[in-house]
Structure 1
Amino acid sequence: MRPIFIASTCACAGKSALCMGLLSVLTERGYRVGYMKPVGNALVDVDGVLMDEDAIMMSQLFHLGDSLEVITPLLATERLVHDALMGKTKALSDRVLSAFQQISRDRDVVLVEGASGVEFGAVFGLEASKLSSLMGAVNVLVSPYTRGLADSVLAGVTLLGQEGLCGVIINAVPGERMEWTESLVGGFLDSRGIDVLGVVPHEPALGKLKVQEVADIINAQVIAGEEGLERPVNELLIGAMDLQSSIRAFRRGASSVVITGAGRSEIISAAIECNVGCVVATGEHVPECALLSHAEQRGVPLLHFRGDVLSAIERMEEVLGRMRIKSEEDVDIAHRLVEEHIDVDALLRCARGEEKRKCA
């Protein structure tokens, strides 16, 4: 069976969750499944060594048995990009191909996760289309639901190439837009010769962060409400509006991280009273004692970030932008979404070469 390359129209489209769900489903069906992410872009420092976060999670959750250096043979560091711009990169394709050959040995199928969007890696000649061709893979294009959904998919297919494309998966679709996406967008893509393998609804429980993780990642101090550190959060709200507008937003944001200046006492108090996920107060000074007492009484974590609001927002957007699947519970959710909303049989037929759809 040919490897299955999972590409996406943009970063943070849900490729990792899809790979985990597929890996779980295929393993349950009795397939020996391998996984690799040829170019790592989700870089984390582990004891002074750079690694790809997705590769680490996959290896730990599925006990893959391959070394992280084989799962992700290249890391998209600043040095690699600099060398590529200077024309100094050599034998990168050979490293990827060697790693793929090791992983595919004694495996029925290999899932290959692309990095970021389909264009990523072009600077060193390893964008999605080149990687897929190198490994002889069939392709799946993932696109998150956006207003410009059809445009994003068509542009992504143009860059990836329609030859060898098994189909498209539209991810994180709001419940009220599922029927519209399946019928109208799906029908449009079908008329262009592009199969839709699945339309996956938005699942807020998947990959949520806990408040303690937020504090650790952005290096904020927990100054009150420690009992709520296990609360899940998945949305960012900025406390920069007037009080009444803020309150309306807070009432809809039970899983929100509210960021505001430590001097905005009325905003902090309102967020605590509305029982948001947590509040991040920014600036050099700690919020007044009455707010700490209020947070303790309500059980709402109050964090202090010594930088400015903009810096806190940038860090949180980076954190919340990536779906961070960490537990067996997350894998179970991803498994269910794949089983219920993706035509896995059609994907496998495509990988076997049993069905090849021509352009309309």
Structure 2
Amino acid sequence: MVGVYVGSTAGYSGKNLIAMSLGLKFQKEGLNVGYMKPVGAVPRRTGDKVGDEDAFFVQDVLGLEQDPELVTPVLVTRDFTIKAFTTGCGDLLSAIGQAYAKLSQGKDVMLIQGSGTFLGSGTYCGVEGSRVAASLGAKTVLVDRYQKELRYDYILRSHAAVGDDLAGVIFNDVPESYMEEATGLIQPFLEKKGVTVLGTIPSDPLMGAIKVTDLAERLNGKVISAQGKGERVVESFLIGTMQVENFLTHFKRHKNSAVIVGGDRSDVQLVALEGNSPCLILTGNLYPNDIILTRSEVLETPIIVVREDTFTVAKKMESILTSHKLRDMIKVNHGAQLVMANVDYALLKKRIGL
């Protein structure tokens, strides 16, 4: 039985996507796959059992029915944190090891999904990813998502910490403008240092997209028109604070972009509606005039009204589009194809000893 720990250099790097993609690929090859997320941070109750929200979703995708209390033996709740800071955490690695032993029975491959960052998250209780992976004898696949740069220093520190147990790194969400540097400069550098680069996954607009209804909920806003089109997808956003002529030129270059604009800027609102924006986000808790509302209904473009100012909403949008969870099966299937098309699966199997 082979254990593969999926860790990352930062939160929201794509651990869910990589774990699910590898699991689906292993299953397609006829392998018996098990799954575990030893440390969870988002508790969810199903029946009389409590587990981790991400873990429930990954198991659903992989068609697994496992005891959630075994899958995630360490759940970081408020009570857990208070106990950790007062009386201590106890021997959590033993609990994780016992759960792993039960879940891995009869399995060919065990996927172990990390929480937070590989070297840091969970250190206060001795359950940081590097320690958990070592205790389970698992090889690590490290995911490094591009966010203004790749974290090559972190990757090298991870390699120094676990040595050959680092099976390799996967670069994720790399924009076209950075691809040459990632593959032509950073990858050869890391490989000279003994780090295997398993693949580079390019940025894909669909993977960061969010439905209008989900977006409204995350912004604490209200959809006031075209409510029946809440399934429309937002891939990015534009701020409509400039003059209409300048905004129109900018808007034409960005498809599927929500437009964040003051509720009193009907000129920009109309341009966005006629330009087929997936939705308008009106700030300052200001409602649009009747002409805008009517065009919104006719063009079936939802309008979300929020309380905050434009700058605050834009900062929230940036965070939402970066950290939005993978929950849509269309995105899961698309993401799995993206992973398998850009990751050297044969090399990965060799590196994990499968």
Fold match by TM threshold 0.5: yes
In the other structure, the counterpart of 1:136 is 137
**Offset at residue 16 of structure 1 (A):** 1.0
Distance 1:61 1:148 in 2: 31
In the other structure, the counterpart of 1:106 is 106
Please identify, of 48-57 and 298-307, the stretch whose mean Cα deviation from structure 2 is larger: 48-57
Seen in structure 2, the aligned counterparts of structure 1 residues 220 and 12 have a Cα distance that, compared at 3 Å, is same
In the other structure, the counterpart of 1:94 is 94
In the other structure, the counterpart of 1:236 is 237
**Offset at residue 340 of structure 1 (A):** 1.8
**Offset at residue 242 of structure 1 (A):** 4.8
In the other structure, the counterpart of 2:7 is 7
In the other structure, the counterpart of 1:208 is 209
**Equivalent residues of 1:9, 1:152 under 8 A apart:** no
Superposed CA offset, 1:241-295 (max 9, x none): 4544543443333222333332333333332233222112233342222221222
3-state SS of paired residue (2:261): strand
In the other structure, the counterpart of 1:190 is 191
**Equivalent residues of 1:208, 1:324 under 8 A apart:** no
In the other structure, the counterpart of 1:259 is 260
Distance 2:212 2:182 in 1: 33
In the other structure, the counterpart of 1:71 is 71
Superposed CA offset, 1:55-104 (max 9, x none): 12112222211133322222233443343333522232233222222221
Seen in structure 2, the aligned counterparts of structure 1 residues 49 and 68 have a Cα distance that, compared at 3 Å, is closer
**Equivalent residues of 1:142, 1:171 under 8 A apart:** yes
Distance 2:279 2:160 in 1: 41
- Identity over aligned residues, as a percent? 30
TM-score, normalisation: structure 1: 0.86
3-state SS of paired residue (1:252): coil
**Equivalent residues of 2:152, 2:186 under 8 A apart:** no
User: What's the RMSD between the two structures over aligned residues?
Assistant: 2.8
Please identify, of 166-175 and 300-309, the stretch whose mean Cα deviation from structure 2 is larger: 300-309
**Equivalent residues of 2:9, 2:151 under 8 A apart:** no
Seen in structure 2, the aligned counterparts of structure 1 residues 159 and 252 have a Cα distance that, compared at 3 Å, is farther
3-state SS of paired residue (1:3): strand
**Offset at residue 176 of structure 1 (A):** 4.5
**Equivalent residues of 2:6, 2:111 under 8 A apart:** yes
In the other structure, the counterpart of 1:295 is 296
Distance 1:79 1:341 in 2: 42
**Offset at residue 135 of structure 1 (A):** 1.1
Distance 1:317 1:275 in 2: 21
**Equivalent residues of 2:168, 2:351 under 8 A apart:** no
Seen in structure 2, the aligned counterparts of structure 1 residues 274 and 82 have a Cα distance that, compared at 3 Å, is farther
In the other structure, the counterpart of 2:277 is 276
Superposed CA offset, 1:183-220 (max 9, x none): 22211111111111111112222363221222344443
Distance 1:237 1:92 in 2: 46
Please identify, of 122-131 and 96-105, the stretch whose mean Cα deviation from structure 2 is larger: 96-105
Seen in structure 2, the aligned counterparts of structure 1 residues 292 and 179 have a Cα distance that, compared at 3 Å, is same
2:95 aligned partner, one-letter code: R
In the other structure, the counterpart of 2:330 is 329
1:142 aligned partner, one-letter code: V
In the other structure, the counterpart of 1:356 is none
1:33 correspondence with 2:27: no
In the other structure, the counterpart of 1:172 is 173
Q: Which runs of 5+ in 1 are unaligned?
A: 354-360
Higher RCO by CA contacts (8 Å cutoff, separation 6 or greater):
1
2:302 aligned partner, one-letter code: P
**Equivalent residues of 1:207, 1:330 under 8 A apart:** no
In the other structure, the counterpart of 1:340 is 341
3-state SS of paired residue (2:117): coil
In the other structure, the counterpart of 1:358 is none
**Offset at residue 323 of structure 1 (A):** 4.7
1:351 correspondence with 2:325: no
1:12 aligned partner, one-letter code: Y
1:331 aligned partner, one-letter code: V
Distance 2:141 2:313 in 1: 35
